[in-house]
Amino acid sequence: MKVISTAKDMQELSIKLQHQGKTIGFVPTMGFLHEGHLALLKQARAENDIVVLSIFVNPTQFGPNEDFDTYPRNFERDERLAKAEAADYLFYPSVAEMYPGQASVSISVIDRVDVLCGAKRPGHFDGVATVLTKLFHLVQPNRAYFGKKDAQQVAVVHGLITDFKFPIELVAVDTVREEDGLAKSSRNVNLLDSERKEAPALYQSLQKAKQLIESGERDVEMVKREIERTIKKNTSGTIDYVAIYSYPELKPLDKLDGQFIIAIAIQFSKARLIDNIIMEI
């Protein structure tokens, strides 16, 4: 595996690989890799000639009071894990490399961002779309891999690829979970021991909602209330949101129909956890 640190070298390599007829699978991350990221790498490895992993903690998607400075970083560990999953290239640019000066063009995401996490993080998905646009041009992937845990991000990326006509197949990979159901996340390390014991209740609440729907329940508010009851009963966390929307459009539903997402966000003392399931009826 080769580490690449400049945009010029990454783009020149990608053009060369494309001319050779190689398919490129791309896994963009902010590092501190966990099993969820490794699942993306495994699928990319199985479906492409070349696998590129990027590690870049993108400052433009963090708000002024968010955890950019404290976001966990461990490049040496990430490098070992990427090698173990047979990644071919690790793109590891600096902030100055990705944002060398004052921008003359900006990207604004105008749909799918005013709900869920986006509702309280104005500008977050503008930053996501901006950095992904840069990365897509540099890596020039045939396929890009994202985890369904960040389902709103997947929906936004779907819109970005569709609207800007990127010749990229978006591959959404199922959420990887701990044995007790907790979704893998780089932020799980910030949970207190007592909170970690409570955290599986998040997924349990979603599973209860799924059972309700499979038994015939179609009332959106009824399903949301059942989720809230489970979380309040079994955790000390504060509910940020419990929401149900059409997917990937992320529009409100009067009753459950078609494909939709059930999403939750819970604030613990030092970690905010999200989870979701996507269903279709």
Determine contact, residues 146/153, Cβ cutoff 8 Å: yes
- Ligand-binding site membership of 63 (annotated): no
Q: Which of 19, 37, 124, 158 is catalytic?
A: 37
Q: Looking at residue 270, what is its pLDDT?
A: 93
Domain spans of the chain, in order of start: 2-173, 186-276
Angle at 156 between CA 271 and CA 130, to 5 degrees: 85
Residue 95 among known ligand-binding residues: no
User: pLDDT tens digits for 229-254?
Assistant: 999 999 999 999 999 999 999 999 98
Whether omega before 248 lies within 30 degrees of 0, making that bond cis, reads yes
The reported pTM is 0.91
In the residue annotation, 158 being an active-site residue is answered as: no
The annotation status of 35 as a binding-site residue, yes or no, is yes
Q: Give the pLDDT confidence score for residue 219 in this predicted structure.
A: 97
CATH class, 186-276 region? alpha beta
DSSP per-residue string spanning 1-39? -EEE--HHHHHHHHHHHHHTT--EEEEEE-SS--HHHHH
Tokens of 85: 């999953």
pLDDT of residue 64: 84
Q: Is 279 annotated as a binding residue?
A: no
> Which CATH number applies to 2-173?
3.40.50.620
Task: State which residues of the chain have pLDDT below 70.
Answer: none
pLDDT tens for 195-225 read 999 999 999 999 999 999 999 999 999 999 9
